[in-house]
């Protein structure tokens, strides 16, 4: 294995996990509320902290620098609120085998399929106009399976823009059918961080060989890459840039967006949204198949946590747009 990488002591590392659970014992780190769920963890052992959902746990993120590309569609509408759902793919066949996966294109396990379906139930009342996924099948499967649960019953359709011909050949010629569809944009920039020479290795065997601290550093440090792979910082350079350039303008235009991607590409985006430091992000863990909701309003991102269920009051009580959308769905089925 090339590229020996030095390791620091990570003794003070705590772990945090996005979760739908709540707790009464909380502490604030910057503008993020972290809630202690159970025992402290370290280096791949038990992860025992949660970052909860719910109105008390919302945080307001500083306004973004909006892209000034002269496109009037991107002018923030004062009254508009857009939903942003971030979801890590469900369990993959290599998650199950505990192998470093990175950019290897591995499908979901039956459990991963279930997780995606469950995630879909949790967000089935939240409006979604556009979907962004990585170019990897586990994220695309997750998005499609989740959308099958959505009450609006729009059909997600992958847009093929890789060539002029692919674009032309995948056109839909009915306005009515288009209205019943949701465009799915695939982007390599949202792919998992490239794990270099760790891809395909067993995580436990790698820790046994190189030590827990070294492997934890490769997996969680901000700026230390695994051998010949991407650090989180390098992953952020493409994933956060794509988020700002392509996804934020859609939110600004009032579109509700779901992003189905990966542990580390989403960690880099959440680090950006929640303004986590490079120390804080070490402890951010994302579970497979857990949707996370942000509201974009007047140029700010408001973190709403993870909807526990389709009817969770706190998700809808807070925003007029979401509660109206839900009422509309209710009236459509009654």
Nearer to ligand 3PG, 206 or 306 (CB): 206
Q: How far is the CB of 232 from ligand 3PG (least distance, A)?
A: 9
Nearer to ligand 3PG, 101 or 214 (CB): 101
Q: Where are the alpha helices (H) located in the chain, listed in sequence order? A: 93-96, 110-122, 137-148, 164-169, 175-179, 203-210, 212-220, 232-242, 248-252, 263-273, 313-318, 320-333
User: Is 132 labeled as ligand-binding?
Assistant: no
Shortest CA distance to 90 belongs to which of 128, 51, 136, 46?
136
Q: How far is the CB of 18 from ligand 3PG (least distance, A)?
A: 13
Q: How far is the CB of 100 from ligand 3PG (least distance, A)?
A: 4
77 DSSP assignment: P
The tokens for 278 are: 């490079």
CB 61 within 8 A of CB 272: no
User: Is 152 labeled as ligand-binding?
Assistant: no
- Catalytic positions, written as ranges: 89, 192
Measured distance CA(139)–CA(137) in Å, rounded: 5
User: Is 36 labeled as ligand-binding?
Assistant: no
Shortest CA distance to 84 belongs to which of 305, 320, 326?
305
The tokens for 296 are: 């974009």
Q: How far is the CB of 137 from ligand 3PG (least distance, A)?
A: 13
Count of beta carbons in the 10 Å neighbourhood of residue 158: 15
Q: How far is the CB of 24 from ligand 3PG (least distance, A)?
A: 29
Shortest CA distance to 86 belongs to which of 307, 332, 310?
307
Q: How far is the CB of 4 from ligand 3PG (least distance, A)?
A: 19
Phi-psi category of 86—alpha, beta or left, where left has phi over 0 and alpha has psi -120 to 50?
beta
- 47: helix, strand or coil: coil
Shortest CA distance to 281 belongs to which of 224, 228, 325, 199?
224
Chain positions contacting ligand 3PG, by CB under 6 A: 100-102, 192, 195, 219, 262-264
154 DSSP assignment: P
Measured distance CA(60)–CA(298) in Å, rounded: 11
| Tokens 């998005």 -> residue | 143
Count of beta carbons in the 10 Å neighbourhood of residue 93: 15
Binding-site residues, in ranges, read 88-95, 101-102, 138, 192-195, 203, 219-220, 263-264
Binding-site residues for substrate, in ranges, read 88-95, 101-102, 138, 192-195, 203, 219-220, 263-264
């Amino acid at each position: 294995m090339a590229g020996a990488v030095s390791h620091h002591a990570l003794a003070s590392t705590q772990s945090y996990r996005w979760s739908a659970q709540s707790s009464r014992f909380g502490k604030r780190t910057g503008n993020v509320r972290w809630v202690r769920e159970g025992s402290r963890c370290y280096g791949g052992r038990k992860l025992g902290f949660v970052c909860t959902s719910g109105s008390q746990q919302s945080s307001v993120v500083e306004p973004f620098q909006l892209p000034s590309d002269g496109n009037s569609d991107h002018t923030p509408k004062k009254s508009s609120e857009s939903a942003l759902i971030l979801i890590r793919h469900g369990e993959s066949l290599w998650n199950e085998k505990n192998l470093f996966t990175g950019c290897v294109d591995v499908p979901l396990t039956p459990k991963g399929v279930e997780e995606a379906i469950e995630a879909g139930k949790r967000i089935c009342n939240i409006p979604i106009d556009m979907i962004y996924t990585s170019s990897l099948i586990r994220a695309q499967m997750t998005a499609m399976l989740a959308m099958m649960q959505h009450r609006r019953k729009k059909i997600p359709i992958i847009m093929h823009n890789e060539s002029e011909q692919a674009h032309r050949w995948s056109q839909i010629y009915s306005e009515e059918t288009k209205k019943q569809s949701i465009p799915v944009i695939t982007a390599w920039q949202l792919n998992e961080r490239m794990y270099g020479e760790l891809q395909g290795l067993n995580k436990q065997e790698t820790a046994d060989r190189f030590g827990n601290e070294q492997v934890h550093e490769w997996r969680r440090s901000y700026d230390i890459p695994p051998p010949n792979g991407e650090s989180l910082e390098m992953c952020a350079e493409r994933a956060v840039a794509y988020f700002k350039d392509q996804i934020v303008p859609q939110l600004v235009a009032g579109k509700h967006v779901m992003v189905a991607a990966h542990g580390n590409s989403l960690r880099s985006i959440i680090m950006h949204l929640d303004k986590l430091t490079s120390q804080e992000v070490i402890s951010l863990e994302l579970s497979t198949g857990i949707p996370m909701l942000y509201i974009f309003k007047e140029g700010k991102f408001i973190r709403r946590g993870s909807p526990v269920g389709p009817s969770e009051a706190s998700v809808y009580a807070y925003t007029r747009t979401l509660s109206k959308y839900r009422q509309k769905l209710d009236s459509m089925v009654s």
